[in-house]
Amino acid sequence: MARSRTRGRSLSPRLTERLVETVRGPGWRRTALLRRGAAGLLAVLALVLAVLPSEAGSPVVVAARDLASGTVLGPADLAVATWPAALVPNGALRAPEPAGGRVLVGAARAGEPLTDVRLTGRESAALLLGRPDAAAVPVRLPDADVAALLTPGSRVDVVTPGRDDRPVVLAADAAVLTVLAPGQDAPGRGPPGRLVLVALPRSEAARVAAAALSEQVAVTLR
């Protein structure tokens, strides 16, 4: 009877006994087992990678080519790429339409994602000036050579000629958002000079904007 039970176990071994026999058996058995396990893991990994992009990918607006600071963005400057959701930066644009006609703050490389603070407006002005009440104001400088000295982040005082040739400071410690790139400022249709966008506290923005329309405005570098 004992012999028959032993013979029954040897003819139908359990799963654990098979694994032990495989591990303790010849080397080719272990190699075959490892290969089957690796093949199964690779198959599962390939399935996960195939499903992941469609579920976790997010549309992001990127620069379609290298762009200079001050570029007025158009359809040829923008593209939409799919990024993993975990890598999408805060404030990233998801569609190109809101960026159309906006001015780029700082240069951008092809493929670089564009966020709200990379475009002139309230967000970029507040970040650069460090004040939530900041506003972006366009100022035309008659001397293009002076405008060429300015870069995003430059600190300037906005001044205008006063009585007795004494300059009047309209705004102190303003921050330059960007200088419009050459050829972007409606060439031949406006007055000479370069258009500069500066970030100012909202309390000073209206005064500077009004002066820029009716008076000659200049900036002094800090």
Q: State percent of the chain over pLDDT 90.
A: 41
Query: What value does the mean pLDDT of the chain take?
Result: 81
Model confidence, pTM? 0.64
Q: Are 108 and 63 in contact (CB under 8 A)?
A: yes
Is residue 4 scored above 60 in pLDDT? no
- CA 209 vs CA 73, 147, 171, 205: distances in Å: 23, 18, 11, 6
Give residue limits of the domains in the chain.
Answer: 2-55, 125-222
